[in-house]
Structure 1
Amino acid sequence: MPTLRVTTSITIALSGALAMPAYAATLEVNVEVPKLDVAEYHRPYVAVWIEDANQKAAADLSVWYQMRDTAEGHGTKWLPDLRQWWRKSGRSLKVPVDGVTGPTRPVGKHALSFTDKQPQLAKLGPGSYTLVVEAAREVGGRELLKIPFTWPATAAQNGKSQGSAELGAVTLAIKP
């Protein structure tokens, strides 16, 4: 009987260890679309992506554009206005891309969250990277913000960049 108790205790202890949740590294991005006092306002097209140390596109995280047809045509016609993103990654994508592309966003703060298990981050090798956020607006301007970071995350990292026209604050938080 004592052997049975020990075996039962070990089994319970091991099953408890196996039931513990597995945590994943997270990359959280917050993008602010500012309120502009202009005569003709259009929501901006925005691309959020990661570049490697050689400034090559490593992962597309999110692209916001006009997804419905209008009298001016389909919104994909204007994606090349996101010039940096288009040259580095956009022209090779067939949009829409599930989990990446979506409609333009209104004025306000918008949160994006990714784990190292998602395809965008799972393929990143160890190294130095840059989060890039680009915005372009019809009858407006363009803006590009960058925040450097290291991957994989061995410690918490935080970064911030402040826009001056088409973007407000952009923040990056990485948790191992």
Structure 2
Amino acid sequence: MPTTLTIALSGLLTMPAYAAQLDISVEIPQLNVAEYHRPYVAIYLEGADQKVAANLSVWYQQRDGAEGHGTKWLPDLRQWWRKSGRTLKVPVDGVTGPTKPVGKHALSFTDGQRQLAGLAPGEYTLVVEAVREVGGRELLKIPFTWPATKTPQSGKAQGNAELGAVNLTVKP
């Protein structure tokens, strides 16, 4: 007969009473242009001091091509590059990934994930920056408070060219 061993860990593990969540939707619009390239996109959080508090996601061309490797063009994400990108050694597991096609792309982060680990309560801004070869650049910002206390928060921004709608929901 197998024996079951039960160990009580009462008081040894402390978990927060909440599991805050950040949901983001980023739309890459269909453009009617002769030469289309998928945009490079940086999605990050800025603190009240306008410094990068967390890199959430960076989309870039990951294959070698005739023009070289995609990391060569990451500095074109100017705001992100100046504030954070140049200090990162890409690829970054769980942060960097390939460029995305036209459409809506959903991202979700919880306070237990590496991107949000250690994010202190306070005022933040979601920043989504996009740049496209033979195209333009666009930067959208949505302010929010972290973590949401009792009710969800939401915000949205609408791009004009390189980005479509960007939506943010912060759940307690």
Please tell me whether residue 28 in structure 1 is matched to residue 23 in structure 2: yes
SS of the counterpart of 2:148? coil
Q: CA RMSD in A?
A: 0.9
1:145 to 123, 140, 143: 140
Select the residue among 152, 159, 162 that pairs with 2:158: 162
> Secondary structure at 2:128's aligned position in 1?
strand
Structure-1 residue corresponding to 2:125: 130
What's the TM-score once normalised by structure 2's chain length? Answer: 0.88
TM-score w.r.t. structure 1 length? Answer: 0.86
Contact kept? 2:37, 2:132, Cα under 8 Å = yes
Is 1:104 matched up with 2:99? yes
**Rounded Cα–Cα distance in structure 2 between residues aligned with 1:156 and 1:56:** 25
1:59-118: per-residue Cα shift (whole Å, max 9, x none)? 000000000000111000000000000000000000000000000000000000000101
Bigger radius of gyration among the two: 1
Structure 2 unaligned residues grouped into runs of 5+: 1-16
Amino acid corresponding to residue 137 of structure 1 in structure 2: R
Q: Which has the higher helix share?
A: 1
Please name the residue that 2:90 is paired with: 95
- What SS is found at the alignment partner of 2:79? helix
The aligned residue for residue 76 of structure 2 is 81
Contact 2:147-2:170 within 8 A present in 1 as well = no
| Match among 112, 115, 122 for residue 117 of structure 1 | 112
The letter of the residue matching 1:24 is A
2:36 equivalent in structure 1:
41
SS at match of 1:130: strand
Cα displacement string for residues 19-53 of structure 1 (whole angstroms, at most 9, x for unaligned residues): xxx86211000000000000000000000000000
Aligned mate of 2:58, from 57, 63, 82: 63
Residue 72 in 1 paired to residue 67 in 2? yes
Give the match for residue 12 of structure 1.
none
Aligned length: 155
Corresponding letter in the other structure for 1:75: G
Q: Distance in 1 between matches of 2:114 and 2:48?
A: 20
Structure 1 residues not aligned, in runs of 5+: 1-21
